[in-house]
Amino acid sequence: MALMTAKEYVDSLRKLKTRVYMFGEKIDNWVDHPMIRPSINCVAMTYSLALDPRYEDLMTATSNLTGHKINRFTHLHQSTDDLVKKVKMQRLMGQKTASCFQRCVGLDAFNAVYSTTFEVDEKYGTHYHENLKKFLIYVQDNDLTVDGAMTDPKGDRSKAPHEQADPDLYLHVVERRPDGIVVCGAKAHQTGSINSHWHLFMPTISMKEADRDWAVSFACPSDVDGMYMIYGRQSCDTRKLEDGCGIDLGNARFGGQEALVVLDHVFIPNEYIFLNGEYEFAGMMVERFAGYHRQSYGGCKVGVGDVIIGAAALAAEYNGVEKASHIKDKLIEMTHLNETLYSCGVACSCEGCATKAGNYQIDLLLANVCKQNVTRFPYEIVRLAEDIAGGLMVTMPSEKDFSSDTVVGRNGETIGEICNKFFAAREGVSTEDRQRIMRFIENICLGAAAVGYRTESLHGAGSPQAQRIMISRQSNMQEKKELAKNIADIK
């Protein structure tokens, strides 16, 4: 089958029986739900750009498994060039949506599980790698969106999976049958879960022998029997449910999505299992997935950064301060920070190398440095954007006020007229445009999109401390000491 169009993707979601809950109720038509649809539009963009000849080189690739032309979001990286193109594709997607577009978690999972299963099979003679290859060919040929699912709820963080008071706090095998396994548990903060056709589950931490039943990786359709999702709230999310508040949304078309994904005795046939008790490989899978996803942030957050820098520059123009030297300097600083993140994303890609399985992996140290910078720089970019925008981004009356006919003034002025009078921008700029850019900045800095741009920059792909542990492990301190000893003539 050829690449799907955006419309075909949205229609394909309608055929799924995915169980979605929000505000304590089941949502049947979740595809058209106003709080969910912007996140579907984001994933749909991964389909429409792949069919746009201008972006073909970035958005598509040739499958090493079939030789077919596929969406790059389903590709196994075959070179450092592929790794760089991935980052560029993500920057482009961030520029087009100013949101988290979700499909990367599956891409990162494919690549991590592909190389790990190869090494598991090598040691144990299992068939996980073949299972994954068959699954991937199906995904690529049908141009599916797959959610990479890693983060368990984790309960008491001081305890291993098998020590938890409730064993379900980490996803685990509860029954082994000749034809497959039955699993129970959940994955939290699952980006794009509802918008995905399938899920690819992985363990979330390194494990020891006692955690054998928790060392499990597999794929299943998103509407498999026993699986359901509870939608995560975002700041200001119910603005999407209000009529006549399009401008107040800041970004009416696009958004991210996270949910709690629960697996309640889900049966997984053998052919979709990629790890089943080989606990010593759990850490490898986690480390590789995290590495890829930390690279990803050097692309997606940079694309969103491009949009927010542009928005801050427009806000300055609308306020008539674009020539002030401190404004110019703040925009330079934002650009410097944003391009530093991009440099890290590109660098860890260029320094990548082939895995034993043949697909390419990023440089782990540089990917972790990339993500560590992402835990900081977007916060500074947001601070500068708020500085330039001014307080109006959080104090402005609603869109309904701006269009209200209710008389409020002594001379019969309406609320709308009063708002337009007092929130007028510089000459030649409409009040509405100023309103729009303020709300847009609000959306990214502390509204619904702040989930993706701020807090996800901190905690997504692992919280800051997780990268510091990896940086410490990869830093090769002994070699650095030898360098110093050598030049200082220390024997």
> Which sequence positions are flagged as catalytic?
100, 104, 191, 258, 293, 297, 300, 456
Rounded to whole angstroms, how far apart are CA atoms 408 and 59? 53
- Partner whose binding site includes residue 102, from ligand SF4, Fe ion, none (CB under 5 to 8 Å by kind): ligand SF4
C-alpha 468: how far from its chain's center?
A: 21
One of 16, 70, 92, 105 touching ligand SF4 (CB under 6 A): 105
Contact 170, 185 (CB under 8 A): yes
Rounded to whole angstroms, how far apart are CA atoms 367 and 298? 8
Residue with smaller CB distance to Fe ion, 180 or 192: 192
Mutual angle of helices 464-474 and 282-319, in 10-degree steps: 120
Cα diameter, the chain: 90
Residue 100 touching ligand SF4 (CB under 6 A) = yes
Residue 101 touching ligand SF4 (CB under 6 A) = yes
Q: CB of residue 191 vs Fe ion: minimum separation in angstroms?
A: 5
Which pair of structure tokens corresponds to residue 262?
Answer: 């629960």
- Partner whose binding site includes residue 296, from Fe ion, ligand SF4, none (CB under 5 to 8 Å by kind): ligand SF4
Q: CB of residue 100 vs ligand SF4: minimum separation in angstroms?
A: 3
> Which of these, 79, 7, 64, lies nearest to 41 by C-alpha position?
7
Which pair of structure tokens corresponds to residue 471?
Answer: 């940086």
> Which of these, 52, 116, 48, 108, lies nearest to 75 by C-alpha position?
108
One of 456, 462, 466, 467 touching ligand SF4 (CB under 6 A): 456
Rounded to whole angstroms, how far apart are CA atoms 203 and 170? 8
Q: Is 361 left (phi over 0), alpha (psi -120 to 50) or beta?
A: beta
Say if residue 145 carries a ligand binding annotation.
no
Residue with smaller CB distance to ligand SF4, 386 or 456: 456
Residue 300 touching ligand SF4 (CB under 6 A) = yes
Q: CB of residue 107 vs ligand SF4: minimum separation in angstroms?
A: 8
| R_g over Cα of the chain | 24
Contact 18, 223 (CB under 8 A): yes
- Partner whose binding site includes residue 378, from ligand SF4, Fe ion, none (CB under 5 to 8 Å by kind): none
One of 173, 460, 462, 467 touching Fe ion (CB under 5 A): 460
Residue 104 touching ligand SF4 (CB under 6 A) = yes
Q: Applying CB under 6 A, which part among 240-248, 295-303, 419-427, 482-490 lies near ligand SF4?
A: 295-303
Rounded to whole angstroms, how far apart are CA atoms 391 and 397? 12
- The site map against ligand SF4 for 460-489 (x = CB under 6 A) is x-----------------------------
Report the interface residues with Fe ion, using CB under 5 A. Answer: 460
Binding site for ligand SF4 (CB under 6 A): 100-102, 104-105, 191, 296-297, 300, 452, 456, 460
